[in-house]
Structure 1
């Protein structure tokens, strides 16, 4: 890629900043346009699995993020009574997939990614509208983006503008967009001194709860429950959590006791059920939720956005060398490898949601929980096998020296721990 290649990134979330950092590393002149007044993220955490951490290795951030890991020892799935349905160990997961699962506050990851960019690369309080996708290879047809300060031209536009992506609607006006996934989510990050517990997720009837310690001593908790789109609590969302989860096992009551009303974030979950025909058009490429919004039940939304970013910036072996071919000319190859993989992950996340959140009947819940407990005893690595084909992904031509498998279909379940804001799917 020529050093003078001009790149505009629309959206300053995880996917946008990761793409900006990777493209800047390749020598591009990158400008990030973020409509919010700052990059300060919504108060939630994010889990990064080994596939995303290996992607971050390419831009020199993987080890910095791994050092923030707080999840050690046992974890797994529980019933509302506290009974363990399935157990996992961090060491076993790291051995199987070549690294840990790292849970950290989203603000920390944003700071690390933004720190890889020049100080003037990010423009906050700057909404952007794509006016022309441009034509690769034609210097007379750059992409054009309109901002309040005027129109900008770019050799490449990276659309990382989230679940309700305006750029996606401009590129593919006939696509139906997102659909409601059938449930809503709540998230909190609170201090909980003196309460020790293993990282876990709890499955009830039409509802789940997750509680996870952060390295800084705070606790990240999320909940999801079957609910119609647009529904809100009749009083406040903390009271709603108490009604739904207040009698579940410890430490859930302790977490709820520490929560203030203003701490609770609630958002409905949506996903792209019909895959896009492509992830690019002209000089414009989609990453993250803009391309493949998925339910958070597989824990891969933010991870797939990071994979997108690195695959886009370094599409061939020899990842850290400069390339002559402009990135805009490689977009068909990006679509070819990313669309099948993210479609498979999205479909798996939908199936996982049917199993954990959307199982509402008493009999069905009992059968599910009994089966999980029995299978976990017979095959202790059951939950870990659910990440085969997901967490073991490697960037093409990455640090291992082996080309990654960017088309494999993963095989089961987990929990996503937060992404960008009110417009995106997060528990």
Structure 2
């Protein structure tokens, strides 16, 4: 239906550094539909199994990634964000991608194009034009730190303490993604030294957490409050559609944000191919994607709250084991 496509990207260049992403089976099928799945598999790595532990190292539960692969015929693949973006950009026709081209007035685009797709993230200007401030971002109750260190770890996983957690994901030879989250009130002042604060919070936890903290560099730490999006009544309006974080920004607790954006994109393309006109295609896309993504977003918010509780930890641990009994989300 759309023969000419323009992708406007606010950044002046594609990134060269960034943390890793877990590409779950549903998202890998979306990449296959785009013709780049095998390239992502080649440039990524299979995620190994991992455990969720207490600060003393005792195990709460094990994440059974082999069960996921048996069920869906595909493992979780880890790929660096810059690699994934480079693969996707490389699949576009040369003139389609315009870097350093932010969108500040989406309304003018509707006069020039048959379809406008807002894939512009959690602070989407396209969504703001559609809804104003009626469906605001919501503070999820936690502050997160994240980054990559030059360490080679065989296994990742998470450690859950009282109101805080620390996670590790091997990202290839000599590289490990790390992240930490702490339940704090909104607007809590940033610490003067993130490394010192992380050592204070997690320095006495089980190995290899202290080793990771020792490998941190000041410029390799990102800190931000965690927000998600109030559920929208629709992802479409007229000839405008939202996808990814612009439509359903979720907390990172299920590792599904990037995956759901990829699935959104392929679903939207399918609906445009199959429908007779753009408005009908967008209505079909909204029916297909809004409820599933909002369920996953609600699940991520619940998981974040569960991992951040400060009391009744045995109940928390039992709920976690129950949630994992059916296997991780695909």
Instruction: Please confirm whether the aligned pair reaches a TM-score higher than 0.5, indicating the same fold.
Output: yes
**Counterpart pick for 1:120 among 95, 106, 130:** 95
2:74 is aligned to 99
Unaligned 5+ runs, structure 2: none
After superposition, residues 170-209 of structure 1 pair within 5 angstroms as 170-173=129-132, 175-193=134-152, 196-209=153-166
Counterpart mapping for 1:15-414 below 5 A: 28-40=3-15, 43-67=18-42, 68-72=44-48, 74-132=49-107, 143-144=110-111, 153-173=112-132, 175-193=134-152, 196-273=153-230, 275-315=231-271, 325-357=276-308, 359-361=309-311, 364-369=312-317, 371=318, 375=321, 383=324, 385-387=326-328, 390-391=329-330
Cα distance in 1 for partners of 2:142, 2:17 equals 20
CA distance in 1, matches of 2:191, 2:302: 31
Residue 384 of structure 1 and its aligned partner are, at CA, apart by 5.8
Point out the structure with the larger helix share.
2
Offset at residue 323 of structure 1 (A): 5.4
Once the two structures are overlaid, the 10-residue window that deviates more, 238-247 or 123-132, is 123-132
User: TM-score normalized by structure 2?
Assistant: 0.92
- Residue 312 of structure 1 aligns to a residue in which SS? helix
Distance 1:45 1:299 in 2: 11
Deviation sequence 1:109-161 (CA, Å, 0-9, x none): 1111111012222222222133538xxxxxxxx714xxxxxxxx111111011
Classify the secondary structure of the residue corresponding to 1:65: helix
Contact kept, 8 Å, 1:197 with 1:251, in 2: the verdict is no
Ranges in structure 1 where 5+ consecutive residues have no aligned partner: 6-27, 134-141, 145-152, 317-321, 377-381, 392-427
- The more displaced of 53-62 and 86-95 is 86-95
Q: State the SS of the aligned residue for 1:76.
A: strand
The Cα offsets for residues 221-261 of structure 1, whole Å up to 9 and x where unpaired, read as 11111122333433221222111111111111111111101
Distance 1:206 1:52 in 2: 31
**Equivalent residues of 2:194, 2:221 under 8 A apart:** yes
What is the TM-score with the length of structure 1 in the denominator? 0.72
* Distance (Å, rounded) in 2 between the aligned partners of 1:82 and 1:324: 54
**Deviations along 1:310-356, whole A, 9 cap, x unmatched?**
0000128xxxxx65734454001111111111111111112111211
Secondary structure in 1 aligned to 2:45? coil
In structure 2, C-alpha distance between the alignment counterparts of 1:227 and 1:42, rounded to whole Å: 28
Q: How far is the alpha carbon of 1:174 from its aligned partner?
A: 5.3
Root mean square deviation, CA, Å: 2.2
Query: How many equivalent pairs are there?
Result: 329
Q: Is the 8 A contact 1:312 1:327 kept in 2?
A: no
